[in-house]
Amino acid sequence: MVEVVDEESQEIDRTEADIGEEAQTEESTAEDESAQPPAEEETDAGPQFDEDVMPDEEADLLIPVEDYLSAGVHIGTQQKTKDMERFIHRVRDDGLYVLDVSQTDNRIRTAARFLANYAPEQMLVTSSRQYGRFPAEKFADAVGARARTGRFIPGTLTNPDYAGYIEPDVVVVTDPIGDAQAVKEAITVGIPVIAMCDSNNQVSNADLIVPTNNKGRRALSVVYWLLANETLDRRGADTVYALEEFEAELWFGSVSLIGSSWITPSLFAPVVARFLRRETEFGVGQRKSARLVCTETILHTKPRQMAAEAHQYIEI
């Protein structure tokens, strides 16, 4: 078991001798300190980001650039397509492509202006990607659109005999790869497509591209949140949503099993800590839900893999 200790809550008992010794130490060091030049005051400048994410550092953005960075909106993949090259600002030393945040911001405004021209019930948002399901549904609820998350049933837009058949006027997709069926059917019936595209996406079938990290939980929450508020603002609505309303809660499984003999806490705890600090998004595929998978079945059937590559069992 891992015990978390709140250092601030612990009080240390000190004797009179300790206090007297401290007083003597202070007197003996006072002269030395006075002989030295005064140190420059340290100012708390807040979190520092060394990310170069756009050519114009003074660009007027919807939210501070630090908020985009903390959500990982700018983080692309290690692959890029020629279609997305114009939205890529640079490549990092680790091979990840960095998306131009100023273009992301501008495209969110453009998409909102475009969507504001449509009746709410004629808008459809889709997301087969797990991390996009909650913010997509929240976006639909906020602007009055319809949502189809999870597997997109073939014929939804093209088969009038299908019970779930609908005829929207515009489609918003979270990922052209995961939502390929929705894109295909939208193109077939001539519906414009707004697509959130990462550095590895093909965009030939998208009418309006919003360059963003479309695999990260927080990145998708931020983009859908901004798109919802901007769309409502373009309509003249007074409703403003908070980012927290677009963030799905993470559920952690049987974390107590990290003390199991099958896997040592020293191997597993750092992975949990990194995940909790949101330093990176883990996962080898978009499978079930945003939760840490630590079930007894996995621990007992694949102990070596779990110990060696614990991050592969954090599903997204």
Residues 77 and 190 in one domain: yes
Report if residue 37 sits inside a domain. Answer: no
Q: Which of 205, 226, 246 is the last residue of a domain?
A: 246
Report if residue 234 sits inside a domain. Answer: yes
Residues 303 and 175 in one domain: no
Cα 40 from Cα 42, distance rounded (Å)? 6
| CATH number of the domain within which 240 lies | 3.40.50.10490
pLDDT, residue 280, reads 39
Residues 271 and 292 in one domain: yes
pLDDT, residue 129, reads 87
CB 97 within 8 Å of CB 80: yes
Q: Which of 225, 246, 267 is the last residue of a domain?
A: 246
Three-state secondary-structure class, residue 193: strand
Structural domain span for residue 259: 251-315
Q: Using alpha carbons, list the distances in angstroms from residue 229 to 80, 187, 274.
A: 30, 27, 31
pLDDT values of the chain reduced to their tens digit, one per residue, 316 residues: 433 444 444 333 333 444 344 444 444 444 444 444 444 444 444 444 556 888 777 789 999 999 999 999 999 999 999 999 999 999 988 999 999 999 999 999 999 999 999 999 999 999 998 899 999 999 999 999 999 999 999 999 999 999 999 999 999 999 999 999 999 999 999 999 999 999 999 998 999 999 999 999 999 999 999 999 999 999 999 999 999 999 976 654 433 333 334 444 445 455 544 544 443 343 333 333 333 443 333 333 344 444 444 444 333 3
Report if residue 146 sits inside a domain. Answer: yes
Residues 87 and 195 in one domain: yes
Count other C-beta atoms under 10 Å from residue 243's C-beta.
17
Is 197 buried (19+), middle (13-18) or exposed (0-12) by CB count in 10 A?
Answer: buried
DSSP E strand stretches across 151-269: 170-173, 193-197, 208-211, 251-252
pLDDT, residue 270, reads 52
Residues 172 and 232 in one domain: yes
Q: Which residues pair with 75 in a beta bridge?
A: 98
Residues 174 and 272 in one domain: no
First to last CA, the chain: 25
Q: Which residues pair with 209 in a beta bridge?
A: 195
Phi first, then psi, for residue 85 (nearest 5°) are: -60, -35
The structural domain count of the chain equals 2
Residues 83 and 127 in one domain: yes
Residues 223 and 96 in one domain: yes
Q: Using alpha carbons, list the distances in angstroms from residue 253 to 44, 55, 256, 291, 313.
A: 37, 42, 9, 7, 11
Cα 26 from Cα 144, distance rounded (Å)? 67
Cα 145 from Cα 205, distance rounded (Å)? 22
pLDDT, residue 57, reads 76
Report if residue 81 sits inside a domain. Answer: yes
Phi first, then psi, for residue 77 (nearest 5°) are: -105, -175
Report if residue 175 sits inside a domain. Answer: yes
Q: Which residues pair with 88 in a beta bridge?
A: 99
